[in-house]
């Protein structure tokens, strides 16, 4: 390829930032909850930096460069089939990425739950046991999250449900294989807020003083020559990798979880 051609299409270069910590994953209370929800030891967050301006329309090129970058490939963590932490380490040939809307800046987004689903005290209203994809549903909260024919499903619109804040909340409420569910909604809300705050970047408009989110969020899956390889070779709604891009700092945060026990 000529020098001209290379200039026209710059290759993104990434660097692992192992020193970056995520307070949500160092918090004792959150660690205890994740253990109770059967997610502890199966969830992680990592950060990487990149060297050029990011434009959302370049997502395919950006993500392909990300997964095949030497630094990423050798340090991006995932759980093996036997439940051991390992790194990606294979050549990625295809990527599927969904843009996840990320516009919410307040937890008041969940206030609508305090009517039929959660009592004023914060206690979650119980219901008769039901199942959805092997997930036990024993309260109105999980009904709202999972069952389209639930009486209160329309508390959240389809667009609300696509929001990153909603996705995080739903993941924590459903948990892992041996999840022990909470009786009150607060632990879910507090954990969601802590993760959201650590992963997403905001900026204040100097004129209006309003805060808005500048991150772009993708839910990603990657394939190698033998098929789906990341976040796991088996797909499950609770096995996820979110890639959160901060275009100003030129950082990528990854939130990863693999469903299992």
Domain-located, residue 242: no
Domain-located, residue 162: yes
pLDDT over 90, % of the chain = 85
Say if residue 181's pLDDT is above 70.
yes
> Which pair of tokens denotes residue 171?
């993941």
Domain-located, residue 260: no
Domain-located, residue 229: no
pLDDT of residue 116: 87
Q: pTM value?
A: 0.94
Domain-located, residue 2: no
Give the domain extent around 207.
14-57+67-73+99-223
* Nearest residue to 83 via CA among 40, 24, 26: 40
Residues 6+ apart with CB under 8 A from 208: none
Domain-located, residue 1: no
Q: Domain count of the chain?
A: 1
The Cα–Cα gap between 47 and 52 comes to 16
Domain-located, residue 207: yes
Residues 6+ apart with CB under 8 A from 54: 12, 62, 216, 245, 247, 250
User: For the segment 128-162, what is each residue's pLDDT rounded down to a tens digit?
Assistant: 998 888 888 999 999 999 999 999 999 999 999 99
pLDDT of residue 133: 84
Domain-located, residue 174: yes
- Output the average pLDDT for the chain: 93
pLDDT over 70, % of the chain = 96
pLDDT of residue 222: 97
Say if residue 102's pLDDT is above 60.
yes
Say if residue 4's pLDDT is above 60.
no
Residues 6+ apart with CB under 8 A from 217: 99, 100, 101, 102, 164, 200, 242, 243, 244, 245
For the chain, the 3-state helix, strand and coil shares in percent, each to the nearest 5, are 35, 30, 40
pLDDT of residue 135: 86
Kindly list the distances between the CA atom of residue 256 and the CA atoms of 73, 113, 131, 181, 210, in Å, as whole numbers in the listed order: 15, 27, 25, 21, 30
pLDDT of residue 10: 64
User: For the segment 208-257, what is each residue's pLDDT rounded down to a tens digit?
Assistant: 889 999 999 999 999 999 999 999 999 999 999 999 999 999 999 999 99
């Amino acid at each position: 390829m000529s020098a001209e051609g290379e200039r026209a299409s710059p290759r993104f270069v990434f660097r692992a930032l192992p020193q970056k910590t995520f307070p949500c994953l160092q918090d004792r209370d959150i660690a205890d909850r994740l253990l109770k929800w059967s997610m502890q030891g199966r969830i992680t967050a990592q950060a990487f930096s990149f060297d050029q301006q990011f434009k959302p329309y370049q997502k395919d090129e950006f993500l392909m460069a990300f997964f095949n970058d030497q630094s990423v490939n050798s340090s991006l963590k995932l759980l093996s089939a036997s439940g051991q932490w390992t790194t990606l380490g294979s050549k990625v040939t295809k990527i599927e990425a969904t843009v996840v809307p990320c516009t919410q800046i307040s937890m008041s987004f969940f206030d609508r739950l305090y009517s039929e689903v959660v009592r004023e005290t914060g206690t979650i209203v119980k219901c008769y046991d039901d199942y959805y994809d092997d997930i036990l549903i024993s309260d109105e909260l999980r009904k709202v999250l999972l069952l389209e024919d639930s009486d209160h499903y329309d508390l959240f619109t389809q667009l609300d449900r696509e929001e990153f804040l909603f996705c995080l909340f739903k993941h924590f409420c459903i948990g892992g294989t041996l999840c022990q569910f909470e009786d009150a909604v607060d632990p879910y809300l507090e954990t969601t807020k802590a993760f959201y705050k650590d992963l997403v970047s905001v900026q204040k408009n100097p004129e209006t003083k309003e805060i808005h989110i500048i991150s772009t969020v993708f839910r990603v899956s990657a394939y190698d020559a033998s098929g789906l390889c990341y976040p796991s070779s088996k797909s499950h709604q609770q096995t996820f990798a979110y890639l959160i891009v901060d275009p100003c700092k030129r950082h990528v945060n990854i939130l990863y979880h693999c469903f299992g026990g």
